[in-house]
Every structure is written in structure tokens, then in C-alpha cells.
Structure 1
Amino acid sequence: MTMKSVLLGAAAGIAAIGAAQAADLPMTKGEAVEYVKVCSAFGEGFFYIPGTDTCLKIGGEIRAKYYAFGGTGFSRNDNRSAFDTQARVWFDARTETEWGLLRSYFQINADSNRLVGRGGGNGTRNDFTIDKAFIQFGGLTAGYAHSFFGFYDNEYGDTLEGNYYAEVSTVNLLAYTAQFGGGFSATLSIEDGRDHRVVNNTFDNFVDQGGQQVPDVVAQLRWDQSWGSLAVQAAGHQFRSAQLFDDAGNPVASPRKNKFGYAVGATGLIKIPAIDGWFVVEGQYADSALEYLGANNTFIAQSDYFTNAAGRIDGGKGWSITGELGGHITPQLQAVLVGSYIDTSYDRLNTTGDGGIKEFTISGNLTYTIVKGLKVAGELGYTHGKIDHGTIDSPTNPKLDGRDSYNNWLAGMRITRQF
């Protein structure tokens, strides 16, 4: 017997043994693979979370910004240019239930060298912030969401970095929205009053605020139609003066004041189908609740409360208005123009008369869509302000100190990739 015959016989024997053992094994099916399914109930980008009836959308955006600043009082220590890159990621989960839609939304923003028009500083600052985090169930909204006072900033506010004066805060809140049919809805919102404070001190006689006792109450009535929307809103805000302490930590005599302020406003939107555009305007008046005017956005810092010339604690008053016109010059090119004005007053601020700040800002931008998801935009902005019966107190900047008016500008561009 040759070696070749031996090897062939051994191979045949091994094959026969393997076949016999395989015949004794039970037959099994391959495990089913559950593929991700598209969820079309809520629009593009949603998919079913495997094993559930919840639809999830994950989105993101990268914004690369390049800006230059200038104007009154810029010193050698202030930034004349600034770069900033921002990353945004959001998760939108929705489930239809027998009680209505259950939704949770979460967005986080990350900034590298956040844009700053004034002030120097070296090195890179990486900031991570929660933009929004809330739950909605039927008409209920709970969590960290945009204030229900007005809707301009939340749904429009189409500037790149240009300023405007309106309610811009994301706040901790508990709200309920009732739908009445015909486009009518009403919202009652209980909002954290600490998120609605204006506590920056421009003048020496502004008053520090104490701990919160009563949250803010915000109400809005809204009417949405195919041609646009109308809304009226109101808010109540409590002020409590703070207890003062000396350097050793001992309490000292300090004025005590509890007072309720308020704000009222209205918003109007008209759609312009011919240019796929819109015109929206929002205005508000406030007494002792200046945050609702957008007073935190002024070039000169402000505060709700102050000690007047008679030695009594009083609240600031004022009004503001913002208008925006936007539309498409071509399907790829969008143009937006935004103008805004704020006027605040502090009665009998000092012996020379009432104090106050008047500020006007205008900005315009063009945005071009290169391909779907990729845009490049350019913007110009200008701000003019004046202080009534007072001057700017800036001991660190002699070019700004002692002035009663200012003019500032910005110019820049932004590249955006959204997915």
C-alpha cells in the first residue's frame, strides 16, 4: 500500500465520522437580527429605538466663528478680534401614548474660546453648557426650557452675534399649555425667579438681591394661523433685598424691601410666502422686572433695584422693542435684518435727576447654503447707547470712564455644518 493510499483512506474515515456526529446535532435557526427602523411619524431623522415604540432623533452642529470688534472706549487690553468654535449635540425622544405625546429633549453646547468683545485674557477656555433639558407630556412642560414670555428669541432671533433686547433666557420652569382649537392656545408657567434677575451694578446705589421666596408667574395667550401668529404675555416677579454683612461676617443694618414687579408684552408675526420670509416684532414694558426687557444684553450693565435720592429702595422701569425682517433672495441665499431698542429709567436715582440707559442696535446678515447641511454667513452690527444723568464708571479703562454715550460695531462670519 502506498503512502498516498493511506492518506486518502484516513481522510475518508475522518469525513465519515464528522458526518455521523453532525447528524446527531439538533438543527437550529440563526438568531433574528433587529434592524433600526425609520420613524416617519415626527419628520425626518427619527428612528425607533430597538425593542421600543420610542422614536429618537440625534442631531448636531459645528459653528466656526470669526469676528472683529471696535468702537467707543476700546483699550489696549480689549479684544479687537476673536475666534470661537461651538459644537452642539441634541437628542429628541418622542413616544405616542394614550394620554398624548411624551417627549424629552436635551441639548448640550461646547465652546472653545467663547466670543468676547471686551476684555483680554490668554489661553483657550472650553465651556460646556446645557442649552435645554426638558420633558413634555401632553400640555405639560417641565425642566430647563425657554421662558414662555414671548416667542421671538426662541423661534426667530436670527442674528449670528448681533444683539437685541427681548426675553432671551432659558429657565427652570413648570408649565401647562392648553389648546382650544382654531389655533388658540394658553400657557401658564411657573418659572425660577433667579433666572429672571438683572443684578449687574453700573451705579454705586444699586441693591443686591436676597434669596428667592416666590417664583415668577408667566402667562401667554397665543393665536397661530397660516398667515402668522399673535401673542400677548405677562409676568410677575418678586424682589427681596439682601442681608448685608461686614468683613468679619457679622450682619449689619441694611434696608429691607419686598416688592412685586411685573412685565407685559406682545408679539406679532406675518409670513411672506413670496420670498419664503417673515416679519416679526416683539415689544414689552416692565416695572421692577427688567430682565424681561432684555436688560441683561445691554452694553452697560443694569439692575432691577436701587436706592433713590430719598434713601428708599425702588425698582427700575422701561420698555424695549425688537423687529426682524427675513427672507430668501434666492433658494440658497437668505437675508435677515434685525433692529432693537431699549429704554430704562431709575426715578430719582441721584440728586441730579432720574437715571437710565437708552440703547439702539441694528444688525444684518447674509447666509448662503453651499450644499445641504453646510452654510456660510456674514454679519455687520452697530450699537449706540446713552446714559441719562450719569456717566460710565470704569476705573480700569480711562478711555471709557466718565463718558455718557458710546458707539460700537462688530463684523464677522460663521461657517456652519449641521447633521
Structure 2
Amino acid sequence: MNIKSLLLGSAAALIAVSGARAADAVVVAEPEPAEYVKICDVYGAGYFYIPGTETCLRIGGYVRYDIGIGDVGSFDGAENVDHEDGDVNDTYRKNARFTLKTWTGQETELGTLKTYTETRFNFGNENNYATPDNPTTPTDEHISNPAHQRGVSLNFAWIQLGGLRVGKDESAFDTFIGYAGNVIQDTLVPYGDFDTNVVQYYFDAGNGFSAVVSLEEGSGEIGTIDSYVPHVVGGLKWTQGWGAITGVIAYDSNYEEVAGKVRLDITPIQNLALFVMVGYGTDDNLTDDGYAIPAGGRGFYKQWDENWAIWGGGTYTINEKTSFNAQVSYDEGENLGVAANIAYDVVPGLTVTAEVDYVHAGNFPDSNWTNADDEDSLGGILRFQRSF
């Protein structure tokens, strides 16, 4: 047999084998069984088990669009430069926000292990008048207040095991007592700062009595602790069918001052909820200009003017879709804030809120929390929010 015959025979054999294989039926592998998401109803609606774990996860958040007119936000309005003649004109203050929230829960031998995070993304112009583009230009000319990416903020990121919570939270001086009503502008007279890292313990007796102790770092130049001594917040609450009584007290370790608030919530009829909250704080060191960082009378907790302040208001549920919310606030420095809105649920998950706000700045302009240009200012906000 010569080489030519050998090559021809080998080729024929390969063709035959290939043809035989081509004639065989194609075998398709059976799909692996799908592992569907399992609902977790232990911690409420929206939770599901993370596949392969005993941890329940919930993902939510909202998309919000605010349109402000007049003096809103910090009550120094929104202005921008006219592109044609360079004059400064009043304009809308707008802001779009996407907020992402996550919750987790898992039962352990030491109690429920929880986490919560909230991250906010914003695009819009500022609440206030912007600074001139050119530092040499007078402040009343060529002011630019463009819409822009306003950054990302981490508002919550905490871990809680049983009653012990650590991480980024808002101060228990505000969260435990329930903030100050259901209006958008609830800080026309401020009731305390918010952002802080915490180590805190919650106690719930299960009979309506609860308490909190919180060690806090504070934030900002005035509020961040300047030594190993933390700020300290303590609170007590008594909740019953008629409402609740809550009290909180805070020690500011930077200025060695104390502030406290007491709040009463009542529900006189089924569709009406009312509250009144009184605050009092010492301020000798807060008003002392001899400090390296003067506080100007307002610390991390006692942010109202002078010693005392009062907030009151409520929510009236008109029907299953509509509610009316109002708040009035006043402090010893004669600052007065009034806010009222109508909130309407267009469809489940979509709420439109129209609010009108008024502020009278006491001791104007020396102690002007809102940075208002006038002693009396008026503004409004139209908010669209899709929550999920």
C-alpha cells in the first residue's frame, strides 16, 4: 500500500465517522431546578430571603421632585443671572432626588440582627443665593445659581443587634421624640441637628414604656466632638391608645451645655393627630465669644434662639387619599415659623404635596437662622414623590 492510498483511506474513514455522528440525535442537558425567591413575612411586607441564607432583605426608596417658589428652603430664595442683560432674577428652586433604602433582618441567639441604609442622590440648584462667579465682582451682581449634581449623602448606615445600635444615624434627640410634624419645612425654628455616628441602646418593655441612651459624635464644625468625651442623649417614652408622652435630654460635650425637649401626642378623634413639643436649653458657653470656635448661641442640640422654644401642629386625614398637615413654631428669640400643606395620594405610591411656608425672623438680622433677606418671608413648595 502506498502513501497515497493510505491517505485516501484515512480520509474516507473520517468522513464516515463524521457522518455517523451527524446522524445521531442531539442531546440537550436538562435545566437545573430554579431556586425562586422566598417571601419573608417576619419583619413586614416587602422582605424576601437572600437565596442560600437565613437573612431577610427589603429594598425600597423613593424618587422625588421639588419645585420651590418665593423664599423657600433656607429662606433666602433662588436667583440666577439673566443670560441676556446680566441682571439678577428670581427663579424656581428645583431639586430631583433618588433615595435608595435597604433593610435586613435575621433571628439569632442574641436577638434580632438588623441593618438599615439610606443613600440620597440629588440634582438641582441650591436653597440659597449662590456666590459670584468672579470673587472681585460685587455680591449683588452676576450671581450664578446653576442646577448641578449636588453630591451623594449617606444618611443612614447602622447595625442593630437586639437593642444595641451602632453606625451612622440621626440623633436620638430628634428620632426618639418623633421630629416635629408632617410638614416639609419642619425646621423653620430648628429643634436639633441630625447627622451623627452613634452607639446607642434601645429598651422596649412591651407595655408602652420605652427608653434610649445614645453616645453620639455629632457633625460639622460646631457639633463634632473635640475629645474622647461623646455627646450623650437619653430619652423616655410612654405610649398608649390615646397617644404618647416623650422626653429627651442631651449633653453637649464640646460646650458643656444641656438641652431637653418634652412632647405630647394625642389622637382626640380617629382622623386627627395633634402634638405639642417644648424645648429648653442652657447657652452660657454657646454665647461665649471667647471660645476658639464660637457657637453663636446655637449648639448641636439647642439650635433654637435663646433658651426656650415651642412647636405644635397636627395631621387631619380628610379621606383615604388626602391629608392636611400644619405646624407652628416659635422661640424666645421671637422667631416664628408657620407651615401648612395638603398631601394627596394620586395612586398608591405616588403622593403630591403642596405647601406654603412663612417665617418671621426675630432679632433680624443678627440672629437669623434661615438666612432670610427680610424680616418676613413667604414661600411655597410643590413636591411629587414616588415611593416604592
What is the TM-score normalised by the length of structure 2? 0.76
Kept in 1, the 8 Å contact 2:49–2:56? The answer is yes
Report the equivalent of 2:84. none
Aligned mate of 1:307, from 277, 289, 299 = 289
Distance 1:314 1:156 in 2: 23
Three-state SS of the structure 2 residue aligned to 1:52 is coil
Inter-partner Cα distance in structure 1 for 2:268 and 2:52: 44
CA positional deviation for 1:288: 3.0
Aligned to 1:320: 309
Q: Distance in 2 between matches of 1:313 and 1:329?
A: 43
SS at match of 1:141: strand
Q: Could you tell me which of 126, 146, 157 is aligned with 2:181?
A: 157
Greater CA drift, 30-39 or 115-124: 115-124
1:107 counterpart residue number? 118
Per the TM alignment, residue 100 of structure 1 is displaced from its structure 2 partner at its CA by 1.2
Percent identical: 26
Which residue of 2 is the match for residue 417 of structure 1? 386
Q: SS of the counterpart of 2:24?
A: helix
Partner of 2:48: 47
Moved more, 74-83 or 186-195: 74-83
**Do the aligned residues in 2 keep the contact of 1:218 with 1:233 (CA within 8 Å)?**
yes
Offset at residue 17 of structure 1 (A): 7.1
Partner of 2:12: none
**Contact map agreement 1:305 1:314 (CA 8 A) in 2:** yes
- 1:141 aligned residue: 165
Q: How does 1:32-181 map to 2 (within 5 A)?
A: 32-70=33-71, 77=88, 79-119=90-130, 120-126=143-149, 127-151=151-175, 154=178, 157-161=181-185, 163-181=188-206
Question: C-alpha displacement at 1:336, in angstroms?
Answer: 0.1
**1:79–1:117: 8 Å Cα contact kept in structure 2?**
no
Residue 237 of structure 2 corresponds to residue 261 of structure 1: no
TM-aligned CA distance change 1:95 to 1:117, over 3 Å: same
> What SS does the corresponding residue of 2:256 show, helix, strand or coil?
strand
Match of 1:205 in 2: none
Number of equivalenced pairs? 336
Equivalent residues of 1:171, 1:195 under 8 A apart: no
Alignment of 1:375-386 (within 5 A): 375-386=351-362
Is the CA contact 2:359–2:377 (under 8 Å) kept in the aligned structure 1? yes
Q: In 2, Cα distance between the equivalents of 1:307 and 1:91?
A: 44
Tell me, yes or no, if the aligned pair for 2:202 and 2:210 is still in contact at 8 Å: yes
CA contact (8 A) 2:64 2:97 kept: yes
Query: Which residue in 2 is equivalent to 1:18?
Result: 24
- Report 1:206-217 matches (<5 A): 211-217=226-232
Deviation at 1:223, TM superposition (A): 1.3
Q: Map of 1:346-365 to 2, 5 A cutoff?
A: 357-365=333-341
Distance 1:210 1:36, change over 3 A: closer
Judging changes above 3 Å, is the alpha-carbon distance between structure 1 residues 150 and 314 closer, same or farther for their aligned structure 2 residues?
Answer: closer
Partners of 1:81 and 1:102 in 2: CA distance: 44
Instruction: State the distance in 1 between where 2:76 and 2:60 align.
Output: 41
Per-residue CA shift, 1:325-384, capped at 9, x if unaligned? 1021111111101111122xxxxxxxxxxxxx4311001000111111111110101000
Which amino acid in structure 2 is aligned with residue 82 of structure 1?
R
Structure 2 CA distance for partners of 1:216 and 1:164, relative to 1, 3 Å: same
Aligned residue type for 2:24: G
Tell me how far 1:29 sits from its aligned partner.
6.0
Letter in 2 for 1:307: D
Unaligned ranges ≥5, structure 2 = 1-15, 80-86, 131-142, 299-305
Choose the corresponding residue for 1:225, options 216, 240, 243: 240
CA contact (8 A) 1:305 1:313 kept: yes
SS in 2 for 1:149: helix
Structure 2 SS opposite 1:186: strand
TM, length-normalised to structure 1: 0.70
Q: 1:114 to 1:304 in 2, by over 3 A?
A: farther
1:283 aligned to 2:250? no
What residue identity is the alignment partner of 1:283?
Answer: V
**Which letter maps to 2:37?**
V
- Backbone CA RMSD of aligned residues: 3.6
Contact 1:108 1:129 in 2 (8 A): yes
The answer for unaligned runs of 5 or more in structure 1 is 1-9, 199-208, 240-258, 290-302, 344-356
User: What is the CA deviation profile of residues 15-61 of structure 1, one whole-angstrom value per residue up to 9, with x for unaligned ones?
Assistant: 99737x98xxxx98642221101111111111111111111111121
Question: How many Å separate the matches in 2 of 1:196 and 1:338?
Answer: 30
Moved more, 137-146 or 147-156: 147-156
Does 2:267 match 1:274? Answer: no
Provide the C-alpha distance between the structure 2 equivalents of 1:415 and 1:211, rounded to a whole number of angstroms: 41
The secondary structure found in structure 1 opposite 2:155 is: strand
Check whether the contact 1:105–1:134 (CA below 8 A) recurs between aligned residues. Answer: yes
Cα deviation for residue 260 of structure 1 reads: 1.4
Query: 2:242, 2:367 → 1: CA distance?
Result: 48
Aligned AA (1:124): A
| Cα pair distance change 1:267/1:151, threshold 3 Å | farther
When residues 73 and 178 of structure 1 are mapped into structure 2, their CA distance, relative to the original with a 3 A threshold, is closer
CA shift digits 1:47-105 (9 cap, x unpaired)? 11111111111112111111112499879758542111111110111111122111110
How far apart, CA to CA, are the structure 1 residues paired with 2:76 and 2:97? 28
Q: 1:98 to 1:375 in 2, by over 3 A?
A: same
**Structure 1 residue 170 displacement after superposition:** 2.6
CA drift at 1:262? 0.6
Residue 104 to residue 305, structure 1, CA distance change in 2 (3 Å)? same
CA distance in 1, matches of 2:315, 2:193: 19
